[in-house]
Structure 1
Amino acid sequence: MLLFFILGLLVHFVFFASIFDIYFTSPLVHGMTPQFTSLPPPARRLVLFVADGLRADSLYELDENGDSRAPFIRNIIMHEGSWGISHTRVPTESRPGHVALIAGFYEDVSAVAKGWKENPVEFDSLLNESKYTWGWGSPDILSMFAKDVSGDHVFIHTYDADDEDFGAHDVTKLDTWVFDNVKEFFRAARNNQSLFSKLNEEKIVFFLHLLGIDTNGHAHRPSSREYKDNIKIVDAGIKEMVSMFKHFYGNDGKTAFVFTADHGMTDWGVHGAGHPSETLTPFVTWGAGIKYPQNVSTQQFEDAFLKEWKLENWKRQDINQADIAPLMASLIGVPFPLNSVGILPLDYLNNTDLFKAESIFTNAIQILEQFKVKMTQKKEVTLSFLFTPFKLLSESKQHNILRKARSYIKQRKYDEAISLCKELIHLALKGLSYYHTYDRFFLGITVVLGFVGWTSYASLLILKFHSNLPRGGSKEVKKPSRLLQYSFVAIGVLVAFFLLIQAYPWTYYIYCLLPVPIWYAVLREFQVIQDLVASLLSCPPSHFVGYLLVSTLGIEVLVLSFFYRYMLTAGLIAFAGWPFITQLWTRAKRTSLNWIFFSLLLAVFPLMPVVGRKPDISLVMTAGLLVLLLSLFVVASLTKRKDSFVNEELPLHLLQMLSMVLSMYVVYSTDNSLLKKQGLPLINQIISWIILASSFVLPLLSPPILFERLFSILLSLMSTYILLSRGYEALFPLVLSCLMFAWIHMEQETLQQSGVSCKQKVNSIQFIYNTDLTQLRQLCLDDIRRAFFLVFFLVTAFFGTGNIASVNSFDVTSVYCFLTVFSPFIMGALMMWKILIPFVLVMCAFEAVQLTTQLSSKGLFLMVLVISDIMALHFFFLVRDYGSWLDIGTSISHYVIVMSMTMVLVFLNGLAQLLTTKKLTLCGKPKSHLI
Structure 2
Amino acid sequence: MNLPLFMVAGVLVHCVFLISIFDIYFTSPLVHGMTPHQTPLLPPAQRLVLFVADGLRADSLYELDNNGTSVAPYLRDIIISKGSWGVSHTRVPTESRPGHVALIAGFYEDVSAVARGWKENPVEFDSLFNESKYTWSWGSPDILPMFAKGASGDHVYSHCYEAGSEDFGAEDATVLDTWVFDHVKDFFNSARSNATLLSKLHEQKIVFFLHLLGIDTNGHAHRPHSREYKSNIRKVDEGVKEIVSLVEDFYRNDGNTAFILTSDHGMTDWGSHGAGHPSETLTPLVAWGTGIKSPQHVSSQQFDDEFLKEWKLEAWKRQDVNQADIAPLMASLIGVPFPLNSVGILPLGYLNNTARFKAESIFTNAAQILEQFKVKMAQKKKTTLSFLFSPFKSLSDSEQIDFLRKARTYIQHEKYEEAVSLCRELISLALQGLSYYHTYDRIFLGISVALSFVGWTSYVILVIIKAHTSLTWRTPNKDISSLLQYLFPAFGALIVIFLLIQSLPWTYYIYCLLPVPIWYAVLKEYPIIQALATSLLNIPWTHSVGFLLSSTLGIEILVFSFFYRSTLSCGLIAFSLWPLVSQLWTKAKAMVLSWILSCLLLAVFPLMPVVGRDQNIPLVSAAGLLILLSSSCLVALLWKSQKKYIHGKDLQVYLFQLLSLALSAYVVKTTHSSLESKQGLPLINQIISWTTLASSLIVPLLSSTVLFSRLLSILLSLMSTYLLLSTGYEVLFPPALALLMFVWINVEQEALQGYGVSLKPKLAALSFSYAADITEFQQLHVDDVRRSFFFVFFIVTAFFGTGNIASINSFDPASVYCFLTVFSPFMMGALLLWKIVIPFVLVSCAFEAVQVTTQLSSKRLFLIVLVISDIMALHFFFLVKDYGSWLDIGTSISHYVLVMSFAIFLMLLSGVAQLLTTKRLQLWEGNKQHSL
Give the CA deviation at 1:763. 2.2
Matched, 1:619 2:611: no
Which residue in the other structure is 2:571 paired with?
571
Which residue in the other structure is 1:380 paired with?
382
Which residue in the other structure is 1:487 paired with?
487
Matched to 1:232, the amino acid is R
Which residue in the other structure is 2:262 paired with?
260
Superposed, which structure 2 residues align to 1:168-207 within 5 Å?
A: 168-207=170-209
Which residue in the other structure is 1:317 paired with?
319
Of stretches 512-521 and 617-626 in structure 1, the one that deviates more from structure 2 is 617-626
Matched, 1:796 2:800: no
Which residue in the other structure is 1:418 paired with?
420
Superposed, which structure 2 residues align to 1:71-110 within 5 Å?
A: 71-110=73-112
Superposed, which structure 2 residues align to 1:261-276 within 5 Å?
A: 261-276=263-278
Which residue in the other structure is 2:439 paired with?
437
Matched to 2:734, the amino acid is P
Assess if the C-alpha contact under 8 Å between 1:721 and 1:837 holds in 2: yes
Assess if the C-alpha contact under 8 Å between 1:882 and 1:888 holds in 2: yes
Which residue in the other structure is 1:847 paired with?
848
Give the CA deviation at 1:639. 2.5
Of stretches 363-372 and 851-860 in structure 1, the one that deviates more from structure 2 is 851-860
Q: What SS does structure 1 have at the residue aligned with 2:283? A: strand
Closer/same/farther in 2, CA of residues 881 and 20 from structure 1, 3 Å limit: closer
Assess if the C-alpha contact under 8 Å between 2:84 and 2:286 holds in 1: yes
CA separation in 1, counterparts of 2:926 and 2:450? 56
Assess if the C-alpha contact under 8 Å between 1:562 and 1:804 holds in 2: no
Which residue in the other structure is 2:309 paired with?
307
Which residue in the other structure is 2:299 paired with?
297
Assess if the C-alpha contact under 8 Å between 1:769 and 1:913 holds in 2: no
Matched to 1:455, the amino acid is T
Superposed, which structure 2 residues align to 1:221-300 within 5 Å?
A: 221-300=223-302
CA separation in 1, counterparts of 2:874 and 2:416? 52
Matched, 1:545 2:542: no
Give the CA deviation at 1:380. 0.7
Matched to 1:859, the amino acid is R
CA separation in 1, counterparts of 2:759 and 2:147? 66
Of stretches 196-205 and 898-907 in structure 1, the one that deviates more from structure 2 is 898-907
Give the CA deviation at 1:880. 3.9
Q: Deviations over 1:324-377 (max 9, x none)?
A: 100000000000000000000111111000000000000001001100100111
5+ residue gaps, structure 1: none
5+ residue gaps, structure 2: none
Give the CA deviation at 1:218. 1.0
Assess if the C-alpha contact under 8 Å between 2:807 and 2:887 holds in 1: no
Which residue in the other structure is 1:9 paired with?
11
Q: Deviations over 1:675-698 (max 9, x none)?
A: 011111111111111100100101
Which residue in the other structure is 1:329 paired with?
331
Matched to 1:628, the amino acid is L
Q: Deviations over 1:85-123 (max 9, x none)?
A: 111112211111110110000112222432432212110
Q: What SS does structure 2 have at the residue aligned with 1:140? A: coil
Which residue in the other structure is 1:892 paired with?
893
Superposed, which structure 2 residues align to 1:471-870 within 5 Å?
A: 471-474=472-475, 481-643=481-643, 645=646, 647-768=648-769, 771-774=772-775, 776-803=777-804, 805-807=806-808, 810-870=811-871
Assess if the C-alpha contact under 8 Å between 2:82 and 2:295 holds in 1: yes
Assess if the C-alpha contact under 8 Å between 2:272 and 2:809 holds in 1: no
Give the CA deviation at 1:585. 1.6
Assess if the C-alpha contact under 8 Å between 1:273 and 1:805 holds in 2: no
Closer/same/farther in 2, CA of residues 94 and 769 from structure 1, 3 Å limit: farther
CA separation in 1, counterparts of 2:503 and 2:844? 45
CA separation in 1, counterparts of 2:931 and 2:387? 69
Which residue in the other structure is 2:915 paired with?
914
Assess if the C-alpha contact under 8 Å between 2:125 and 2:150 holds in 1: no
Give the CA deviation at 1:584. 1.3
Match of 1:404 among 403, 406, 410: 406
CA separation in 1, counterparts of 2:661 and 2:867? 39
Q: Deviations over 1:866-918 (max 9, x none)?
A: 11111111111223456666444433332222213333122111111111111
Assess if the C-alpha contact under 8 Å between 2:642 and 2:764 holds in 1: no
Assess if the C-alpha contact under 8 Å between 2:169 and 2:675 holds in 1: yes
Q: Deviations over 1:468-500 (max 9, x none)?
A: 3x21335x8979712101111011111111111
Give the CA deviation at 1:774. 2.0
Q: What SS does structure 2 have at the residue aligned with 1:590? A: helix
Matched to 2:564, the amino acid is Y
Match of 2:168 among 157, 163, 166: 166
Assess if the C-alpha contact under 8 Å between 1:777 and 1:854 holds in 2: no
Which residue in the other structure is 2:153 paired with?
151
Matched to 1:447, the amino acid is V
Q: What SS does structure 2 have at the residue aligned with 1:163? A: coil
Matched to 2:466, the amino acid is K
Superposed, which structure 2 residues align to 1:464-475 within 5 Å?
A: 464-468=466-470, 470-474=471-475
Assess if the C-alpha contact under 8 Å between 2:276 and 2:885 holds in 1: no
Closer/same/farther in 2, CA of residues 61 and 882 from structure 1, 3 Å limit: same
Q: What SS does structure 2 have at the residue aligned with 1:50? A: strand
CA separation in 2, counterparts of 1:320 and 1:831? 32
Q: Deviations over 1:738-783 (max 9, x none)?
A: 0010111111111113331334122221113865332633321111
Assess if the C-alpha contact under 8 Å between 1:794 and 1:842 holds in 2: yes
CA separation in 1, counterparts of 2:242 and 2:125? 33
CA separation in 2, counterparts of 1:638 and 1:46? 72
Assess if the C-alpha contact under 8 Å between 1:96 and 1:112 holds in 2: no
CA separation in 2, counterparts of 1:765 and 1:647? 19
Q: TM-score, normalised by structure 2?
A: 0.98
Q: Deviations over 1:121-156 (max 9, x none)?
A: 110000000000000000000011111421111111
Assess if the C-alpha contact under 8 Å between 2:125 and 2:341 holds in 1: yes
Matched to 1:654, the amino acid is L
CA separation in 2, counterparts of 1:371 and 1:740? 57
Give the CA deviation at 1:6. 1.8
Give the CA deviation at 1:586. 2.0
Give the CA deviation at 1:455. 0.7
Assess if the C-alpha contact under 8 Å between 1:261 and 1:281 holds in 2: yes
CA separation in 2, counterparts of 1:448 and 1:790? 26
Matched to 1:111, the amino acid is A
Matched to 2:742, the amino acid is F
Of stretches 254-263 and 808-817 in structure 1, the one that deviates more from structure 2 is 808-817
CA separation in 2, counterparts of 1:697 and 1:804? 27
CA separation in 1, counterparts of 2:904 and 2:226? 41
CA separation in 2, counterparts of 1:435 and 1:123? 19
Assess if the C-alpha contact under 8 Å between 1:102 and 1:127 holds in 2: yes
Give the CA deviation at 1:287. 0.8
Assess if the C-alpha contact under 8 Å between 1:573 and 1:599 holds in 2: yes
Assess if the C-alpha contact under 8 Å between 1:559 and 1:871 holds in 2: yes
Q: Deviations over 1:768-812 (max 9, x none)?
A: 386533263332111111111111111111111111554465211
CA separation in 2, counterparts of 1:634 and 1:804? 31
CA separation in 2, counterparts of 1:836 and 1:769? 27
Matched to 1:461, the amino acid is V
Q: What SS does structure 2 have at the residue aligned with 1:776? A: coil
Identity %: 71
Matched to 1:61, the amino acid is E
Q: What SS does structure 1 have at the residue aligned with 2:929? A: coil
CA separation in 2, counterparts of 1:641 and 1:648? 16
- The number of residue pairs the alignment matches comes to 929
Assess if the C-alpha contact under 8 Å between 2:880 and 2:892 holds in 1: yes
CA separation in 2, counterparts of 1:274 and 1:902? 30
